[in-house]
Amino acid sequence: MRTLYDLAGNDDSQRFSPYCFRVKWAMHIKQLDYQSELVRFTEKEKLAFSHQNMVPILRDGDAVICDSWAILQHLDTHYPETPRVFSANAASAAADNFIRHWCDKSLHPALFCMAAPHIYTKLAPKDQAYYRETREKRLGKTLEAVLADREIYFANLQRTVEVLRATFADQPFLAGEKPGLSDVLVISAFMWVDAVMPSPLFDADDAITQWGLRVKKAWAWPKA
């Protein structure tokens, strides 16, 4: 049996790791069953078997794979009869890697500044102190100050995602006429944040909102 170690909030249904969402998308696309082992921020001891302290981790039989990218590679390699996650075209795969790093370096930081104060409210009480200390250090200010500056952070997010809207003016998916890995990477980032925001980041008719609906429809993502 496959087990995915996934980051959860106080409510089990609250999941907020963009990297775990990537893996869940890959499992969904490949129609591979798995069970979830929920982990809170301060339950790192649950991950000791992996000799590191980050989710996602996939246990697949005797194999233990850490890091979402390595897990996606494992899934393509070990389940070659299922739909591929990585593009078979080398140039396309190379471009997907650019978009992966764009998520890490630009999209995730811009989204995190919007989501950070809201993630806090969704955490298990035992996680809140740890989260506040580590995230305030990373952000350079208190969570309350981050919330107060939300208009500045939203303007930065809007600049960051202009590339997405411009692209969706030309093509329905990042991967072109059909969704691909790049769409998985970017939608995983938005799902991470959508799960905690008190109201949607973008209007219902925004090109990004519409694209998100297309991706979920194209791959029949299960409704919550």
49-78 residues near a copy of itself, rule: CB under 8 A: none
Measure the CA–CA gap between 111 and 193, rounded to whole angstroms.
Answer: 7
Q: Which of 170, 199, 220, 223 binds a copy of itself (CB under 8 A)?
A: 170
**Toward a copy of itself, which CB reaches closer, 11 or 83?**
83
Paired sense of beta strands 2-7 and 35-39, if any: parallel
**Toward a copy of itself, which CB reaches closer, 49 or 98?**
98
Q: Which of 167, 194, 207, 216 binds a copy of itself (CB under 8 A)?
A: 167
Nearest CA to 33 out of 5, 4, 69, 12 is that of 4
The tokens describing 215, both together, are 């991706």
Stretch that binds a copy of itself, among 70-78, 95-103, 124-132, 206-214 (CB under 8 A): 95-103
Four-CA torsion 18, 8, 146, 213, nearest 10 degrees: 40
**Is residue 141 within 8 Å of residue 54, measured between CB atoms?**
no
174-213 residues near a copy of itself, rule: CB under 8 A: 174-177, 180, 182
91 binds a copy of itself per the rule CB under 8 A: yes
**Toward a copy of itself, which CB reaches closer, 45 or 151?**
151
42 binds a copy of itself per the rule CB under 8 A: no
* Contacts by residues 87-90 (CB-CB < 8 Å, ≥ 24 positions apart): 87/175, 87/180, 87/181
**Toward a copy of itself, which CB reaches closer, 117 or 180?**
180
163 binds a copy of itself per the rule CB under 8 A: yes
Residue 29 is which amino acid? I
25 binds a copy of itself per the rule CB under 8 A: no
Measure the CA–CA gap between 142 and 188, rounded to whole angstroms.
Answer: 26
User: 193: left (phi > 0), else alpha (psi -120 to 50), else beta?
Assistant: alpha
The tokens describing 127, both together, are 């996680």
Question: What is the nearest approach in angstroms of a copy of itself to the Cβ of residue 12?
Answer: 33
Stretch that binds a copy of itself, among 52-60, 142-150, 157-165, 207-215 (CB under 8 A): 157-165
Residues that bind a copy of itself (CB under 8 A): 87, 89-99, 101-102, 104-106, 159-160, 162-163, 166-167, 170-171, 173-177, 180, 182
